[in-house]
Amino acid sequence: MSTAPTTFHGWACHGKDEPMVWEELKLRAEDDYSVDMDISHCGICGSDVHTMDANWSQPDYPVCVGHEIAGVCTRVGSKVTHIKVGDRIGVGAQSGACHQCKPCLAGFENLCRGGPRAWVGTYNGRWPNGDKSFGGYADRWRGDARFVFKIPDTLTNEVACTFFCAGVTTYAPLKRHKVGPDSVVGVMGIGGLGHYGILWAKAMGAKVVGMSHSDRKKDVAMELGCDDFVVTSDAESLANHKGELTHILCTGTSSDFKWETYVPLFRPNGIFINVGIPEWNFPEISPMLLAMSQVTICGSAIGSPAEIEDMLKFAAEHNVRPWLQKYPMKEAPKAIADFKAGKPRFRFVLEN
């Protein structure tokens, strides 16, 4: 008979516009690959807010969000070999995959196509047995070791947690699209993801242009390492950068986004990488604009476990560290209100 806990306490959201409540919820069942963690820290991601506010789809309320989780391992299943009790560990936005489909076998578990309940989100998901998945605005978490990472000695838990979503979501596509010393990267939307985008692109040797919807973040963007700064709502400011960029990493835009505004900013064969997931669609693009710019438009989803390991190594080698502001776990509702007010500089982290 297992002595493992069967419940945890966390911030539950029961519906759009309803306040989160601290309550007891059920942990998923244990299995050979399960890992238990006492949570020390959890970052606040834009996706947490989209989910609670039902921006993408109707969530499986109650949800307990949070997918930048760090803490200490308290229990492991019989098949877990890379983690032991007492280790400092972390998990990001994905907690499960089928491990058998073509993307999984090719090392892209983040693109798993194993069917319903194969791709398990760290929250607002269902494990294959039907149990709900719950995130890190909580005291305790149980998940699958195949998506759990040992935190390197060089990183504290409060710093490490933010790497598991914001960090890898920006690192993986910049690496995949070969950002380097010859690149000029526009980073659009300077929030949690965007500030990481700037830090990574600089560490990869690129020139970086911060692209923000107002001038409020100009000074901090330059402090983050930007070589230049553009206000995207100012046509003249944008026009000064025509033909300059090799890449744009887009983490946030307004709903009046137009391809005609951004495609001319590229050098030939530019790459527009979208990682932001707003509730609206991108507009149509004219075939002529596509042909005559040879622009590549693509997206990217978090990162695979291998990309997360690669990112942690790169961060250690290049001393990449996020900027964060901490809130006690009990003040999560205030942190969410401040997040919605655009206050993060640049990632909020909840601390138990």
Ligand X SMILES: NC(=O)c1ccc[n+]([C@@H]2O[C@H](COP(=O)([O-])OP(=O)(O)OC[C@H]3O[C@@H](n4cnc5c(N)ncnc54)[C@H](OP(=O)(O)O)[C@@H]3O)[C@@H](O)[C@H]2O)c1
| Beta pairing class for 347-351 and 324-328 | parallel
Q: Decide whether 96 or 252 has the Cβ nearer to ligand X.
A: 252
With binding defined as CB under 6 A, does residue 47 bind ligand X? Answer: yes
With binding defined as CB under 6 A, does residue 62 bind ligand X? Answer: no
Q: What's the closest the beta carbon of residue 135 comes to Zn ion, in angstroms?
A: 10
Among 65, 101, 179, 231, binds Zn ion (CB under 5 A): 101
CB 95 within 8 A of CB 147: yes
Partners of 73 in beta bridges? 37
Number of residues that bind Zn ion (CB under 5 A): 10
Q: What's the closest the beta carbon of residue 118 comes to Zn ion, in angstroms?
A: 5
Q: What's the closest the beta carbon of residue 150 comes to ligand X, in angstroms?
A: 22
- Stretch near ligand X under the rule CB under 6 A, chosen from 210-218, 236-244, 289-297, 313-321: 210-218
Query: Which residues in 267-286 contact ligand X (CB under 6 A)?
Result: 275-278
With binding defined as CB under 6 A, does residue 305 bind ligand X? Answer: no
CB 20 within 8 A of CB 37: no
Report the alpha-carbon distance of residue 20 to residue 229 in Å, rounded. Answer: 37
Report the alpha-carbon distance of residue 121 to residue 161 in Å, rounded. Answer: 16
Torsion of CA 1, 88, 325, 333, to 10 degrees: -10
Partners of 133 in beta bridges? 125
Q: Count of alpha carbons within 13 Å of 15, Cβ hemisphere only?
A: 1
With binding defined as CB under 6 A, does residue 192 bind ligand X? Answer: yes
Report the alpha-carbon distance of residue 84 to residue 90 in Å, rounded. Answer: 13
Q: What's the closest the beta carbon of residue 351 comes to Zn ion, in angstroms?
A: 18
Q: How many residues are listed for the chain in this entry?
A: 352
Among 76, 80, 193, 336, binds ligand X (CB under 6 A): 193
Q: What's the closest the beta carbon of residue 261 comes to ligand X, in angstroms?
A: 13
Report the alpha-carbon distance of residue 182 to residue 201 in Å, rounded. Answer: 11
Q: Which residues sit at the interface with ligand X, rule CB under 6 A?
A: 45-47, 50, 165-166, 169, 189-194, 212-213, 217, 251-254, 275-278, 300-302, 344
Q: Which residues sit at the interface with Zn ion, rule CB under 5 A?
A: 45, 47, 93, 97-98, 101, 104, 112, 114, 165
